[in-house]
Copies of this chain bind each other. A is one copy, B any other.
């Protein structure tokens, strides 16, 4: 079993808030991350998949295929977007790093299987001081 990781990046706006709460309560719970005018980040996404190494080509997966899946299923939908209002696969969720990572897992789990590997970990880095990791359950 070999693990291979592909890094991709996206820049997006977001806001932490609950619609049913007013701005004051949102600011109280989420602080400046709840600014109604949005803020944003350079997100770095590490997608780790695992599998056997092919005797024919020496790969777990062809990284071009993996990158292509990540781009079409995730990056194209989130890069230079507003995560709260424009992303089909994370609607109706609090846009925390945790929830975005889990949503990306759901978006990639099946396609990764189609190229012969198993999704192992989604690591999503929001700033140099914090990141989350999700292993699917």
Contacts and interface: CB of A to CB of B under 8 A. Distances in A.
Contacts of A41: 11, 40-42
A58 B99 contact: yes
Q: Please give the count of copies of this chain that the complex contains.
A: 6
Contacts of A97: 4
Contacts of A128: 7, 9, 42
Given A37-B85, A40-B12, A2 B130 contact: no
Give the interface size class of chain A: 35 or more
Interface of A: 1-9, 11-14, 16, 18, 29-33, 35, 37-42, 48, 53, 56-60, 63-64, 79-82, 85-86, 93-99, 101-102, 127-135, 137
